[in-house]
Amino acid sequence: MPDTYASGFQERFYTSSDGLELYARDYSPSETATAGRLPVVCLPGLTRNTRDFHSLAQLLSQDITAPRRVVALDSRGRGNSARDENKANYNLAIEAGDVVAACQALGIERAVFIGTSRGGLILHLIAVMRPDLLEAVILNDIGPVIEATGLVLIRDYLNSGRRPADWREAVDILQQNHGASFTALAEQDWREMALALYRDVGGRPVADFDPAIAEALESIDFSQPLPDLWEPFEKLSHLPLMLIRGENTSLLSQETASEMARRHSTLIVHAAEGQGHAPLLHLGNIPAAIRAFLAACR
């Protein structure tokens, strides 16, 4: 089951501040079509990559009435971005710097940002480091507080050691691990999830990220409270902000979502029905909600 996604984008490579070659997909309609509308920049989750955003990027960049340029980034060590020999560089601060480098390389002075899971944590840091880049923000199933139980599930799943022998088994593994929380997904959705997570190597699916990223979760002491990001979250208070929360998520509690709404009076909260962590943004009524949010942005 090789990757059969239609293109619709340009492959772009750029260099991080420490010399690593990083990768982006650039879905760019004509400048005439997007005139007056800022681009959308998409940041994936911990071990995910640009392919998670492909369907949404096509929808937004090919929108009949209000198309936008959409840029999706592979963080270092994921997808087509180079793996880092210094595994300590897989951290939020370094990866936030990589996003800034991407914007500089791709000529993006200001944008609407979508951050899935870890991508949303990175946006909290960018709100402090480079607030001038942020026109508006969509956080996909992430907030200033991460539930330890959810992170433990991710740690155990990523470090389970089970490797699929073929694409059918890759789909089976995903359904066994996530089927209970992603009841909204049809068979084709599971196939597409497998294509997004795995790379085809000689006909065999291989997880498309540096294993050191998953291994780092083993060193977290879950007997201690996880640090929160409420202080940088306050830096988002003046921006248009949308929160997409999976109905069955284990990483973002309702309590945290409610507190986010209390602290950000204009926060738009959208529930992703039948989805867990993290919701697939091209399914159900999520694209319509994102379009409506974007319609109020530059």
> What percent of the chain clears pLDDT 90, i.e. is strictly above it?
93
Tell me what pLDDT residue 274 has.
98
Q: What is the pLDDT of residue 162?
A: 81
pLDDT at residue number 46: 97
Specify the pairing of strand 10-15 against strand 21-27: antiparallel
> Which residues have CB under 8 Å from 241's CB, separation 6+?
136, 137, 138, 139, 264, 266, 267, 268
With 0-12 / 13-18 / 19 or more C-beta atoms within 10 angstroms meaning exposed / middle / buried, residue 86 is exposed
Which pLDDT band, with edges at 50, 70 and 90, does 4 fall under? very low
Taking 90 as the threshold, does the pLDDT of residue 5 lie above it?
no
- Select from 14, 100, 9, 103 the least CA-distant residue to 57: 9
Report d(CA 70, CA 295) in Å as an integer: 15
- Predicted confidence (pLDDT) per residue in 182-236, tens digit: 999 999 999 999 999 999 999 899 999 999 999 999 999 998 989 999 999 999 9
Query: Which residues have C-beta within 8 Å of that of residue 228, sequence separation ≥ 6?
Result: 144, 145
241: β partners: 137
Judge whether 93 and 123 are in contact, CB under 8 Å: no
pLDDT mean across residues, the chain: 95
**Residue 19 — pLDDT band, cuts 50, 70, 90?**
very high
What would the mean pLDDT of 81-89 be, rounded to a whole number?
Answer: 97
pLDDT score recorded for residue 182: 98
Residue 212 has φ and ψ, to the nearest 5°, of -60, -25
As a CATH number, domain 10-28+37-157+225-296 is 3.40.50.1820
Mean pLDDT of 84-103: 98
Structure tokens at 252: 């973002």
Cβ-based burial of 266 (10 A; exposed 0-12, middle 13-18, buried ≥19) = exposed
Name the more confident of 49 and 2.
Answer: 49
CA-to-CA distance for 238 and 146, rounded, in angstroms? 23
CB 37 within 8 A of CB 71: no
Asked whether the beta carbons of 257 and 243 are under 8 A apart, the reply is yes
pLDDT for the residue 298: 87
> Is the per-residue pLDDT at 3 higher than 90?
no
Does residue 6 have a pLDDT over 80?
Answer: no
Say what the pLDDT of residue 31 is: 87
pLDDT tens readout for residues 161-187 = 788 999 999 999 999 999 999 999 999
Summarised one tens digit per residue, pLDDT across range 98-142 is: 999 999 999 999 999 999 999 999 999 999 999 999 999 999 999
Question: Which run of H or E residues covers position 260?
Answer: helix 254-263
Calpha distance 186→188 (Å, rounded): 5
199 forms beta bridges with 206
How far apart (Å, rounded) are the C-alpha atoms in residues 75 and 23? Answer: 8
Name the residue ranges covered by the structural domains of the chain. 10-28+37-157+225-296
List 97's β-bridge partners, or say none: none
Position 2 confidence tier, pLDDT thresholds 50, 70, 90 = very low
Say whether pLDDT at 256 is over 70.
yes
pTM for this model (two decimals): 0.96
Given a cut of 50, is residue 1 above it in pLDDT?
yes
Percent helix, strand, coil in the chain, to 5, is 40, 20, 40
Question: What digits encode the pLDDT tens for the residues 67-83?
Answer: 999 999 999 999 999 99
